[in-house]
Amino acid sequence: MTKDFLIDGISNIDEDLIARFINIDEALSDSRVKVRRGRRLQSKIIAAAACLALLVGIGFAAVPVMNFMGIIGVGKATTDTVTQEPPNVSLGSVIMDDDMIDLNSDGTGDKIEIKIAENNATEAVIAVIDGKTDTEIWSGSMPISKDERCAYYFSNCIDGQDRLIFWSYSLTDGKLVYRCVMFNFDENNQRRILADTEHTFDFSDGHSPYEYEEERWAMLLKNLNKNLNASTVKGYLLVDNTGDEIEVWVPVKLMRKSDIRYTLSELIDKISN
Amino acid sequence: MKRLFIERRHTVKIDKSRDIGTPISDDDIIELYFGRDENAIKQTDIKYGRYLMNIAYYIVHNRQDCEECLNDTYLGAWNSIPPSRPKILQAFLTAIMRRVAVSCYRAKSSKKRVPSEFIDSISDFEDMLEDEYDMEKEYNAKELGESISAFVRSLSERQIYIFMGRYYFSRPIEDIADALGVSRSTVNKEIAAIKTGLRQKLESEGYTV
């Protein structure tokens, strides 16, 4: 095949594929600024998650490898610190302190802390600490058992308000149950649930529960979006080290079902960059 | 600066007012073409002029050539609509612009070496290409286009973005990596996988690659 022939062949690619590219490109452009701004956050949060996983890993050296989910962050720069509390108090914790994560919209950045209490813990504690008063305004748990995974993430939604999303799923009887709770805080630091949905996916057809097909995500998040009065979650990032590889998902436009998946090596690329 | 659109029988002048114009819908633009209203060109320019210039630039890398390509693209659209009624006007114009820009590049590069992202991208396929043109071996380009299209359709959204971005729109790898939020090496790895798949597809259909 000659170069000219190949060039002409490519020139004859169907217009529907051109249109598809244009759609993807537009969707990426919509999120590009946000993703760019979020890159630093993502790397740091992933690093923080890795640190936590390390802490957890050290603690769990003598027990079967636990499943642990990571964290998501989209949209903002952050600074984070890792603190190691005394072993008898806590196995370890990660604090994310970001001037720009303002969950109660009081103009002061808030902190998120994840804490693993003991070696055989079945849950991690997530605390939201008000940046102004330095007091805990909410805490919740994140299961970390063998058959469950969970994650939480921030999503800087289309209306500009930060939201904390607690996401978990459990695997029983070949079914995968996802639960998404999306919330922020009002001016009195009262938690305001924006969406709380549960979705069951049946894997009795032989599919692996670890095949995160974009349709499933789209269905779930579409449901969330519906509950949010059509607000659109602009993107999320999910880190998962429970399987053979870590995957990060950034759906650039959920309603279009376009997901981007990163493999472990790509994730490492992202962190190292 | 005024831009000239030259049609065989008359001339349409396009000025920079596209920068301040409000785009109308694609359907309305197409209706203007069908009504043989020269405002169709102006409206196309308002809505897609910059986008089309951008496509041309990655191929010809010369602003003046881009302007010429743009005029030729509008001429192509004017001559094609009607009878064609594009389903997606932007994709229709893109296809015309790419062909025009490739022709322009060929004409310029036959006289001298012209640096271009377009030719850099095609060089990725160097190991699949022959120097000699063998008419008997070559199917027509339309058939090849159909085969490539079928292959591209089988790819994931992300791979479609990479393939089309790199080989149809001749975008630099770093731009694609930036858009996807991944490193260059990641895009290169994807390209290698896509190339392998494309080679297998084309070989299975009797192409010599």
Contact A6 B125 (CB under 8 A): yes
Q: Which amino acid is at B104?
A: C
* Mean pLDDT calculated for residue range B23-39: 88
Is it the case that residue B94 has pLDDT exceeding 90?
yes
What value does the mean pLDDT take over residues B58-86?
A: 86
> What pLDDT shows up at residue B42?
87
Strands (E), chain B: 3-6, 11-14
Which chain A residue lies closest to B93 (C-alpha atoms)?
A15
Taking CB atoms and an 8 Å limit, are A14 and B131 in contact across chains? no
Q: Any idea which of A55-59, A166-170, B98-102 has the lowest mean pLDDT?
A: A55-59
Write down the mean pLDDT value for chain B.
Answer: 78
Which residues of B are less than 8 Å from A9 in CB distance? 141, 144-145, 147-148
Q: Which has the minimum average pLDDT: A51-60, A197-206, A220-229?
A: A51-60
ipTM: 0.80
Distance CA B111, CA A244 (A): 54
Report whether pLDDT(B39) > 60: yes
pLDDT band at B192; cut points 50, 70, 90? confident
| Beta carbons of B32 and B39 less than 8 angstroms apart | yes
Does residue B96 have a pLDDT over 80? yes
Least confident of A41-55, A179-193, B65-79: A41-55
Q: Does A24 touch chain B (CB under 8 A)?
A: yes
List all residues of chain A from 29 to 68 with a beta carbon under 8 Å from chain B.
Answer: 29, 32, 35-36, 39
- Predicted local distance difference test score (pLDDT) of residue B93: 94
In which band, very low, low, confident or very high, does the pLDDT at A197 lie, cut at 50, 70 and 90? low
Q: What is the pLDDT of residue B15?
A: 39
Whether A184 shows a pLDDT value over 50: the answer reads yes
Q: Which residues are CB-neighbours of A69 under 8 A, at least 6 positions away?
A: A142, A144, A149, A150, A151, A238, A239, A240, A241, A242
Q: What pTM, to 2 d.p., does this model score? A: 0.47
Lowest mean pLDDT of A47-51, A52-56, A254-258, B75-79, name the range. A254-258
User: Mean per-residue pLDDT for B67-95?
Assistant: 89
Q: Which residue has the higher pLDDT, B6 or B62?
A: B62
Q: Which residue has the tokens 């997901």?
A: A259
Rounded CA gap, A169 and B38, in Å? 59
